[in-house]
Structure 1
Amino acid sequence: MKVPFETEPDLNLESFFSESGSIARLLPGYEQRPGQKEMALKIEQCFEQGRHTVVEAGTGTGKSLAYIVPAVKYAVKNGVKVVISTYTINLQEQLINQDIPFTARAVDFEFKAGIAKGRNNYICKRRLQFALENKKTLFDAPPGELAELKEWAENTKDGSLSTIPFNPSPSVWDAVKSEHGNCRGRKCPHRKDCFYSNARKELDQCELIVLNHSLLLSDLMLRSRGANILPAYEAAVIDEAHNLQKAAEDHFGINISNNAVDFTLRGLYDSKKRKGLLAKFEDEQLKTKLNNARKACDVFFKQVESYYEHTCRENNGKCGREDLTDNLSGELKELRLSLSNLRAGFSEEEKKSDSAEELRRAVERLSGFESDVSSFVQQPKASEDENRHVYWIEKGGKKQFPRYNLRSAPINAGKDLKECLFDKFESVALTSATLSCSSGKKGFSFFAGNVGLEEYDSLMLGSFFDYKKNVKVVAEADLPEPSSPDFLSSAAQVLKGWIADAGGGTLILFTSYYMLKNFAEELEYWAFENGKEIFMQQKGISRTRLVERFKNSDSGILLGTESFWQGVDLPGDALKCVAIMRLPFAVPNHPLTQGKIEQIKANGENPFISFQLPSAIIRFKQGFGRLIRRKTDSGTVVILDSRVMKKFYGRKFLEVLPECSMFAKSQGELHPLNINKTNEH
């Protein structure tokens, strides 16, 4: 642990965030944001008093500085580290490249900050050398790719995947990336210039460590077993906290695919190409066992395909206990034991070789696959599953090469988060623009319950932006409900008018790809006739690329589903209208949603009121938030789901929005809406 400052860092947050404070001196024309200072003081209090706190900070609050400044003050004052966790890479890059360097210029003391990446993000020089020496037998690498990687590795200071000036092919990167199961540690000839090791040493000198939710969860799980990835830290800030539950559900479950197993087995030996790790070994018995494992993999996943297509597809892939026959894990075990025996038979000198390390890595991978397949098929009985999990199959990939993923997730990820995060650390600050589903502290209870947070302080801050002046919200009251066969054509007709008024620059948000695709067909001819280009979410085109193309168009129409409801940043004239096709209730027959609903019913509660409605309200807020990203932005949000006006729960969606000019549109006329917000404490 670092030695704390002999005297407390001279940093008064009241003064720092004032109109004549440190920020104002560095930013000419700085306009004080009262919410930013209030948030900073709340987080400072959270750290000093050893409390957890939840802060909802509307767009424009300046929340990054509001948590960085008190975090670094606390870290330097006490000689400890604070981690800052985000869900997206974009926010990590903003923090490490903009907000933290700005803070360093603004405060009167020195501190260091670094970004933590998972081990698999770094190249391993020893494995790269092994791949270069054995490329003829290992794999069919694209010509020159390994040589390019070698040249890059000799000149880069970072050594991480994101800094490579080209995209390495999957087989090549898999062969050269750093891995825990294939690391020699102090015995490695490259230990002094190991990119991963040096990056970790740099973190030892940092007061602030920026990372993503997944890496944070990995570290927390290891700490519960007496190990760790990161240096010791005393407190945490979790930004984009609305995604913490999803990250935990992904992390604490199973995710194994036919592609992953086949990729690993082919890497050991591909009999058609006569390439792979085992190509140099004259052990026909071992290759026979490998061939048996590959055949078992084909048979098992053909069974998965058949079961999915004929039995569980209509139930969104839900898979019950022992619905499948496990012919695979036994063969994987046989292969794993044979590889272990092969390695055990090496001489002492051979055991120090790179081939021995690669075999050890293969054994670890096979062990993981074996365990996951067995767990998925067997599934503990509900009475034996302490934190009940749901199991399902997902289909993806291309039509001719389908990918089947075996998935599981805990129904209550909050239980795991409570045990490994909130019970272990005195101070965790969680923040986002969308955490509440009603006013007052009660509005946070849904989020807090989902992440396992029991005792906490809270702060709800509005936006710095003038929504009353710049945003018009219109609810289309006369449209048929989304379940009606006439909805799409009616909604398309209405939206043509709004798109024309906006001159393009319209984002239309959907809750299903099926509706998106059908709507695009409804709009296609009109858009062509009126010079509007449609940018439609589809496989093969990344969200980033699609949004960039839309942004560069003069009059585009962007159609997106789930991932477009959050994280899409389109400031200025690029976006003038956001249309919400239907209230974003979760698909009720998704296995995980089903599991949660069943659990809530078993507890004697109403799942619509306590789960489905608050989930939809938070997602609705995220969609609404796409419109205004800067102080000067303006535009219209159109709600095409008439249930917002007709159902008893509809007004709850409007009550959570910032104060806007709200209207109901009926018979072609706009009628002002007076939304009286409840203030529950």
Structure 2
Amino acid sequence: MMTYSKTLYRIFKRDGILSKHVPAYQPRRAQFEMANLVLRCLKQETHGLIEAGTGTGKSFGYTLPAVWWALKNEKRVIISTNTITLQQQLLEKELPMAHKVIRELAPELAEEFRYELAKGRSHYICKRRLEELWQDSLTTETPEREIVRQLREQLPAMKKGDREEIPLPVPPALFQAIQGDSDDCLGKNSPFYKQCFIQNARKKLQNAQIIVVNHALFFTHLILRRQGASILPEYDAVIMDEAHRVEDQVTKQYTYHVSIEEINILFNRFLKKRAHWARELDSSDLQQQTESIRARLVAKLVELFAPLARALAERPQNEYLLKKSIIANNEVAPLFKEWKTLFADKHKELKAAGGEEETVIGLSRYISQIEQMERMVTHVLCNESPDEWATWVAYEEPGAEGHRSLIRDDFAWASLLHLYSAPIDVSELLREELFTQKTVIMTSATLTTQGDFSFVANRMGIDEYEALETPSPFRYEQQAILLVPNEAPSPAEKEFEAFLIASMKEIVMTTRGRTFLLFTSYSQMNRVYEAMIPWLKRHGLTGLLHRPELSRDTLLQQFRSQPNHVLFGCESFWEGVDVPGDDLICVVIVKLPFPVPTDPLTKARMNRLDKRGQNSFREYMLPFSILRLKQGFGRLIRTRSDRGVVVILDSRLHTKPYGSEILASLPPARLTKSMDELHRFFTS
């Protein structure tokens, strides 16, 4: 029998502590159960998986027990999220509210309560780099001189020193020149060490019981911890919200990327004197020898890359999974050895002569970076560990269309080739680095397929855990309709795109805007947008296209500004978007969001399962699609008063055996096959 915390009951009950601070507070059984499970997992040091349906109030469901446990037991909890939006919500809403609650529960603990946001050093201004840039501008006139002067004047008034606090527009290239950089950090030898924004932020983390981070930073910390370094202070437990994105983020952080540009960037850290330690090495011999090594290494890579780039340019896809190695013998190893030896000898020479500490440390870091680059280059060129790593080549055209018709030499072709390698399965890595080390609680609105957590648990490497699936408090049967037209052609048929356009016109003619059109492919989204724009204009509707240069928040502000807007969205609009009320009344999902089977990493994952005698479709493609579809569906109903229609223009939900499994995993909205229901819903 489940036991409940008396303290949490005091907080969450109808006339409890939370009711005094939340207007029109209504207790939610699901939220209370979630909070109890979180507290029990923290106390018993067990992992937890919690699917909290939309409207559960999951942020309070984990924040309040985490704060109480951390303060009572002198512990530290990391809360990791995937999006900035959720981080801001935690810092501006849930954590200040938790402080008020604790003040009533235990005033003496409330006095000690601290929470902080952890960010990477590149988000902060480095005072030394800014000062060096200013001194350089006094002798050499630069276009940014006036901005640099204004920044210097503003520094004393800045408390955090991060980019968000800068009170004037700063060009990206200028901020890059003054941002914190681990390769150009003097540490305690910096004249600004005691006033360093980055060091001050790190000190604040040491005093915090709750630290909010994003998934990318958290897993970067895990990688650095393996190397004996760290970003975060020691902690006792991790709560991961938006946990359905953890596998993607871990894979991304562990992915190798090799290109001519990446090689040149590493050489230029010394050759262009971009770091303090490099500027201290005034040696023309070292400069000439390094240039010689670069020329020969790049020439060898051009010889290997250019034919591959030319071949890929003629093929239908621009990226392919490697089946064999690119080189039989490691032809680049002697050049990397020469590069490492050159700087290792210089390192020994400076150390023996008692050279500047920061220069010696900088050289040591640079040698480690050369070694890491050699490991990556060797790994991808030799296609090492193909059963554990997916290695692929990608041909990436420059963004501007005008460059594509230029006549190219071998170097230009080679510069378009990128090589990547990523772990096929991150479960063992997470098991060793995280789940055997710390208590981890993962939560999201989408972690189950038909009430089963096993897909996510297996992908993450969680062997034992407590699980809780909390239903949404929304009355989907009354608030929403799920329309899946019966007459839709298969997405593989030629007629499908014409059907999409015709159906979308009919839908938005009925809704008169306030509609999301969610795509699984940017190219298809762009084609449909171009085809519909003239029609939308004729009917007084405005199409908003999800372009890479537009931020999601900017596009959402535009969408909310007028009721006649129709948003064409991809990827990031499937999740983490909250548009409550009448601003969004219809979500159209173009087709089931299966992973693209030709994607190299997807292909490698499927191959791995098939080789093991498992069904890759049922054990990877299908559950992945269900979780993604649940996210897309969840954009519609955000409050108890919302009403609307989700349209899925994919008849496979009716015609394929797996269709019933997908439908059973979605919220229980009333299912219909007829467009007439859409018209009746919005005219009733």
**Structures share fold, TM-score greater than 0.5:** yes
Q: Is the 8 A contact 2:75 2:236 kept in 1?
A: yes
1:492 matches 2:496: no
The aligned counterpart of 1:317 is 320
Alignment of 1:204-223 (within 5 A): 204-223=206-225
The Cα of 1:287 is off from its aligned counterpart by 3.4
What is the distance in 2 between the residues matched to 1:324 and 1:555? 57
Alignment of 1:320-335 (within 5 A): 320-323=323-326, 331=335, 334-335=338-339
What is the distance in 2 between the residues matched to 1:176 and 1:149? 11
The Cα of 1:112 is off from its aligned counterpart by 1.1
The aligned counterpart of 2:447 is 435
Name the CA shift for 1:262/1:472 in 2 (closer, same or farther; >3 Å).
same
Name the CA shift for 1:124/1:222 in 2 (closer, same or farther; >3 Å).
same
Q: Which of 80, 86, 89 is the equivalent residue of 1:91?
A: 86
Letter in 2 for 1:591: P
Letter in 2 for 1:661: R
Find runs of 4+ consecutive structure 1 residues off by over 6 angstroms.
136-141, 325-329, 347-350, 353-357, 669-672
What is the distance in 2 between the residues matched to 1:217 and 1:607? 27
SS of the equivalent of 1:129 reads helix
1:368 matches 2:377: no
What is the distance in 2 between the residues matched to 1:167 and 1:329? 45
The aligned counterpart of 2:46 is 51
1:413 matches 2:426: yes
The Cα of 1:539 is off from its aligned counterpart by 3.6
The aligned counterpart of 2:658 is 649
Alignment of 1:512-551 (within 5 A): 512-551=521-560
Name the CA shift for 1:434/1:481 in 2 (closer, same or farther; >3 Å).
same
Q: Deviations over 1:41-96 (max 9, x none)?
A: 11111112221110000111111111011111111111111111111111111111
Name the CA shift for 1:459/1:302 in 2 (closer, same or farther; >3 Å).
farther
Q: Is the 8 A contact 2:277 2:358 kept in 1?
A: no
The Cα of 1:406 is off from its aligned counterpart by 2.6
Name the CA shift for 1:349/1:113 in 2 (closer, same or farther; >3 Å).
farther
The aligned counterpart of 2:57 is 62
1:483 matches 2:454: no
What is the distance in 1 between the residues matched to 2:226 and 2:351? 37
The aligned counterpart of 1:351 is 355
Q: Is the 8 A contact 1:269 1:278 kept in 2?
A: no
The Cα of 1:262 is off from its aligned counterpart by 3.3
Letter in 2 for 1:464: P
SS of the equivalent of 1:144 reads helix
The aligned counterpart of 1:583 is 592
Name the CA shift for 1:35/1:309 in 2 (closer, same or farther; >3 Å).
farther
Identity over aligned residues, as a percent? 31
The aligned counterpart of 2:409 is none
SS of the equivalent of 1:202 reads helix
Name the CA shift for 1:169/1:64 in 2 (closer, same or farther; >3 Å).
same
Q: Is the 8 A contact 1:512 1:561 kept in 2?
A: yes
Name the CA shift for 1:126/1:278 in 2 (closer, same or farther; >3 Å).
closer
What is the distance in 1 between the residues matched to 2:385 and 2:48? 37
Q: Which of 382, 388, 404 is the equivalent residue of 1:378?
A: 382
Q: Deviations over 1:358-399 (max 9, x none)?
A: 6565555444333322222123244xx6x4444443626514
Stretch deviating more after TM superposition (398-407 or 73-82): 398-407
Superposition TM-score, scaled by structure 1 size: 0.87
Q: Is the 8 A contact 1:80 1:233 kept in 2?
A: yes
More helix, by proportion: 2
Letter in 2 for 1:410: P
The aligned counterpart of 2:241 is 239
The Cα of 1:39 is off from its aligned counterpart by 0.6
Q: Deviations over 1:193-223 (max 9, x none)?
A: 2222221221121111111112222333344
Letter in 2 for 1:183: C
Name the CA shift for 1:201/1:168 in 2 (closer, same or farther; >3 Å).
same
Alignment of 1:109-508 (within 5 A): 109=106, 110=110, 111-134=113-136, 142-165=144-167, 168-169=170-171, 171-224=173-226, 227-266=229-268, 268-269=270-271, 281=282, 283=284, 286-287=287-288, 289-290=290-291, 292-293=293-294, 296-297=297-298, 300=301, 303-304=304-305, 306-311=307-312, 314=316, 316-323=319-326, 331=335, 334-335=338-339, 337-342=341-346, 345-346=349-350, 351-352=355-356, 362-382=366-386, 387-393=388-394, 395=396, 397-399=398-400, 400=403, 404-425=417-438, 427-439=439-451, 443-508=452-517
Q: Deviations over 1:602-625 (max 9, x none)?
A: 111111111111111111101111
The aligned counterpart of 2:411 is none
What is the distance in 2 between the residues matched to 1:148 and 1:372? 42
What is the distance in 2 between the residues matched to 1:432 and 1:584? 18
Unaligned runs of 5+ in 2: 405-414
Stretch deviating more after TM superposition (211-220 or 391-400): 391-400
Q: Is the 8 A contact 1:141 1:172 kept in 2?
A: no
Q: Is the 8 A contact 2:134 2:145 kept in 1?
A: no
SS of the equivalent of 2:442 reads strand
Name the CA shift for 1:332/1:120 in 2 (closer, same or farther; >3 Å).
farther
Stretch deviating more after TM superposition (243-252 or 656-665): 656-665
SS of the equivalent of 2:49 reads strand
What is the distance in 2 between the residues matched to 1:340 and 1:149? 38
What is the distance in 2 between the residues matched to 1:367 and 1:162? 35
Superposition TM-score, scaled by structure 2 size: 0.87
What is the distance in 1 between the residues matched to 2:144 and 2:265? 17
